[in-house]
Amino acid sequence: MRSMDDNSINTSNIANQRRWQLVSIIALLGLVAAYVHAELYTVHGPFTKVRDWGVPPTWALVVQNMRWFFRGIAVVSLITLVVLESRYLIISHMIRKLVGLRFGTSVILLVLGVISGCYFLLPGYITAASDGIYYTTLAWLVKDVLENFQLPMWSNWGDMGFPLMQFYSPLFFGLVALVNFVIPDIFIGIKFVFFVIHVLSLFAMYLYVCNLTHSKSAGLIAAFTYGFAYYRYHVIVYVNKFPMVPTFLLWPLQLYLVDRVICDEGGRRSGISLAIITAVGLTCHTFFGGYSVIFASVYGGIRLFSIVQDRAIFDVRMRAVRRLVFWLAVGVLASLAYTLPPLTEVNLTVIPGWYP
């Protein structure tokens, strides 16, 4: 009799757990819907207007009229998730179960990347400031150069001979130009590049933090925070510092590789990868890439003193310093064509104060 009672209790517990899991999934979907609605609302919403977006279309009016409905859904969903997590640990159990699957972590990161970067998929342009139009024009110029085989070239459209001469690193604009061959509208093409880089940056941040802490949970939390950080939205959409976008992907990778080079993990492959990432960063933008090298060097110096004690002897540290300096130097030398001119001909730049 007791065995039958125990079986019925277990069956009831399993049924309740599945029921609460279903409720949790619905609540999560409610939060996602509310977040997407909030992003759509910003296109024609009554927030800070940096430019005139024109007459709101019908869909924008529908979004505006339903704003309180979705805000209510967000509040109810959030309260539901808090209650279920605090009483039954439903969310934690679901995440652990998903992470335990072969591609579970990748699925979580992909979903987080798509949701947090959905503002790149919104209708309209993201060139809210004049800098955005200028940077997009430079990408179009590279595409025109490649399309007409005008190499080498000189143009007064921007930066005294860009992209093959000096004063502006062309790699980011070259990437947008290549996408423009597939997506004819360059404004949509640059949004697609932003979206892909945004999603990949979450994977990069997860890789770095997971390697640093040896914790998948810490990596997922870092990726979540990194993806939804308002600073990224502000820099790209409102300030329009488009060349800074690759830094959000390259910077975590650079820190990850610095750790591996210091600990001598991966051998030359880690060093070569660090040199490539460093060169790519400098070739995307000398200013942001240069500061990335400086910060990576400072970070590496700090990490030398946080290595496990039985490995942190003087000789080990010195070898780690030599490896780190060597591979960072290789990366800088590989991008010298776009880092040396701004430094040696600083008086010829448009804004000399930006350079040392």
Instruction: State pLDDT tens for residues 55-110.
Output: 778 888 888 899 999 999 999 999 999 999 888 888 888 888 888 888 999 999 99
pLDDT bucket at 43, cuts 50 / 70 / 90: confident
**Percentage of the chain modeled with pLDDT above 90:** 42
Alpha-carbon gap, residue 269 to 249, rounded angstroms: 19
* Domain boundary, last residue among 99, 117, 144: 99
pLDDT in tens, 323-349: 999 999 999 999 887 777 666 766 655
Asked, for residue 294, whether it belongs to a domain, the answer is yes
Better pLDDT: 216 or 119: 216
Decide if 130 contacts 216 (C-beta within 8 A).
no
**Distance linking the first and last C-alpha atoms of the chain:** 84
The answer on 90 and 158 residing in a single domain is no
What pLDDT does 123 receive? Answer: 77
Mean pLDDT of the 234-249 span? 88
pLDDT at residue 154 greater than cutoff 80: no
The answer on 249 and 143 residing in a single domain is yes
Better pLDDT: 223 or 315: 223
Query: Which residue range(s) make up the domain with 170?
Result: 130-354
Asked, for residue 114, whether it belongs to a domain, the answer is no
**Percentage of the chain modeled with pLDDT above 70:** 81
Asked, for residue 119, whether it belongs to a domain, the answer is no
pLDDT at residue 160 greater than cutoff 60: no
Decide if 290 contacts 169 (C-beta within 8 A).
no
pLDDT at residue 6 greater than cutoff 60: no
The answer on 196 and 71 residing in a single domain is no
What pLDDT does 338 receive? Answer: 76
Better pLDDT: 140 or 277: 277
Domain count, the chain: 2
The answer on 135 and 74 residing in a single domain is no
pLDDT at residue 166 greater than cutoff 80: no
* Domain boundary, last residue among 99, 114, 144: 99
Asked, for residue 108, whether it belongs to a domain, the answer is no
The answer on 338 and 211 residing in a single domain is yes
What pLDDT does 250 receive? Answer: 96
Asked, for residue 283, whether it belongs to a domain, the answer is yes
Asked, for residue 260, whether it belongs to a domain, the answer is yes
Asked, for residue 104, whether it belongs to a domain, the answer is no
pLDDT in tens, 217-238: 999 999 999 999 989 888 888 7
Better pLDDT: 22 or 233: 22
Report which residue type is found at 42.
Answer: T
The answer on 286 and 164 residing in a single domain is yes
pLDDT bucket at 312, cuts 50 / 70 / 90: low
What pLDDT does 66 receive? Answer: 92
> Helix/strand/coil (H, E, C) string of the chain?
CHHHHHHHHHHHHHHHHHHHHHHHHHHHHHHHHHHHHHHHHHHHCCCCCCCCCCCCCHHHHHHHHCHHHHHHHHHHHHHHHHHHHHHHCHHHHHHHHHHCCCCHHHHHHHHHHHHHCHHHHCCCCCCCCHHHHHHHHHHHHHHHHHHHCCCCCCCCCCCCCCCCCCCCCCHHHHHHHHHHHHCCCHHHHHHHHHHHHHHHHHHHHHHHHHHHHCCHHHHHHHHHHHHCCHHHHHHHHHCCCHHHHHHHHHHHHHHHHHHHHHCCCCCHHHHHHHHHHHHHHHHHCHHHHHHHHHHHHHHHHHHCCCCCHHHCCHHHHHHHHHHHHHHHHHHHHHCHHHHHHHHHCHHHCCCHHHCC
The answer on 282 and 209 residing in a single domain is yes
What pLDDT does 134 receive? Answer: 78
Q: What is the mean pLDDT of the chain?
A: 83
Alpha-carbon gap, residue 332 to 8, rounded angstroms: 68
Asked, for residue 160, whether it belongs to a domain, the answer is yes
pLDDT in tens, 104-144: 999 999 999 999 998 888 877 666 666 778 788 888 888 88
The answer on 269 and 225 residing in a single domain is yes
The answer on 150 and 19 residing in a single domain is no
The answer on 149 and 67 residing in a single domain is no
The answer on 248 and 333 residing in a single domain is yes
pLDDT bucket at 305, cuts 50 / 70 / 90: confident
* Domain boundary, last residue among 99, 122, 142: 99
Mean pLDDT of the 13-42 span? 87
What pLDDT does 47 receive? Answer: 59
The answer on 253 and 153 residing in a single domain is yes
What pLDDT does 132 receive? Answer: 78
What pLDDT does 354 receive? Answer: 45
What pLDDT does 342 receive? Answer: 67
